[in-house]
Amino acid sequence: MPTKNTSIHGEWSSRLAFILAAAGSAVGLGNIWKFPYMAGENGGGAFVLIYLICIAVFGLPIMMAEVMLGRRGRQSPINTMKMLSQQENAHKAWGLLGWCGVLAGVLILSYYSVIAGWSLSYVLESTSGSLRYITETKAGELFSNLIASSLTLIFWHTLFMLMTMIVVARGVSNGLEMAVKYLMPALAALILVLIGYSISQGYFMLGVKFMFTPDFSKINQAVLLDAMGQAFFSLSLGMGAIMIYGSYLSQHASIAKTSFAVALADITVAILAGLAIFPIVFANQLEAAQGPGLIFNTLPLAFGQMPGGVIFGTLFFVLLVFAAWTSSISLIEPAVVWLVERCGLTRIKASVICGSVTWLVGLGTVFSFNIWKTYTVFDKTVFELLDFLTSNIMLPLGGLLIAVFVGWSMRESSVKDEIAMSSSMLYQAWRFLIRFVTPVGVLLIFFRVIEII
């Protein structure tokens, strides 16, 4: 049995700290920006049902496996997979899994930062009162003018990347843990305030019905693919984030219990976000299937007409920023840690390098909304291509490879030793899922990707 490894980067101070950090990584724009508009486009309850099944069958088992790999290796995903493939006498090509995760994290953050920049812009718009009594035409113009200005988007993109790298540069205890310790409770409080407002509008039960009444006619291959991609995206699976956070987890913490807590938090926030948003949408006779512009096109109109709209609008967009911030620090952490290990750089220098590269890649997303919007690859803009490539290919592929490595390439004695589940029955159930159900399910969904391409 290999000697237990120790992380040179530090550890979480407690199991709760890990849960907050991993939940912060999972709970982000994927829950509050992406989940509501995808539910709106895919028939509400039908999408929610498939999403929950994907979390249970694919998401949670792979999250447990990814946390387990991280704690086993105690290094960056790249070096963890390289070391574990050697220890388990597996093919050295498994080391590429770490590279795939780090690359996915950088690519996602490159466009994630731009979308988060929209939220920063709308915080300013809301606090200034410019959303007050805004008309539908003006709301559309506001959003259109924002994304049409490359210089404006670059400013907010740059500001958000600076916010992210400042936290990452401070390290595990003084940066990551300190940030989520305050941001996650604040995020939860903001969601509950908005839920309270939605209830007061009188359309709350309509939102509940939309979210939880499945229209099975809406369930098709496209919905399955979108739901699986959303499950991986919102849980931060396959991008190295959960693996690197797992490397900071105490040896005494239960992987199963902590993973379940994180998945539950992720699901809860996604559903609460929908319950906060859809009643407001319906109360103002707005269209739920608005696509990516749902939050930025329709909700300003609602907040502009409601009593106290300046306060609630500002709170909502601050919530978006907080959610994006807790996720963004996990997306870039694997790349920063690898540079520290590989080149012996300080975290500050590694953060500057990684942040600069990610910022530069993000310009592609910035320009895809304006000066490059007519340039497409496979009929997709740069932003759409990155979103599709990461959410529907790279993350599920990363999750699939994690399942295959843990289920088939690692010795079962190593898996049992590290995952340390107290219940033999639950362990066998998890092992069956990770070896058979999860890989087969992901492969079947990939057939839909091939058809689209």
pLDDT in tens, 327-365: 899 999 999 999 999 999 999 999 999 999 999 999 999
The pLDDT tens digits of the residues spanning 226-248 come to: 787 788 777 888 889 999 999 99
| Average pLDDT for 60-77 | 95
Dist CA 80 CA 130 (whole Å):
50
Position 447 confidence tier, pLDDT thresholds 50, 70, 90? low
- pTM of the shown model: 0.89
Q: What distance in Å separates the CA atoms of residue 300 and residue 409, rounded to the nearest whole number? A: 51
CA 220 to chain centre: 24
What does the block give as tokens for 194? Answer: 């908005």
Q: Express as a percent the part of the chain with pLDDT over 70.
A: 94
> What does the pLDDT read at residue 73?
94
CATH number of the domain at 15-452, please?
1.20.1740
pLDDT over 80 at 43, yes or no: no
Residue 2, pLDDT > 60, answer no
Cβ-contact 137, 331 below 8 angstroms? no
Higher pLDDT, 283 or 49: 49
What pLDDT is stored for residue 166 in this prediction?
94
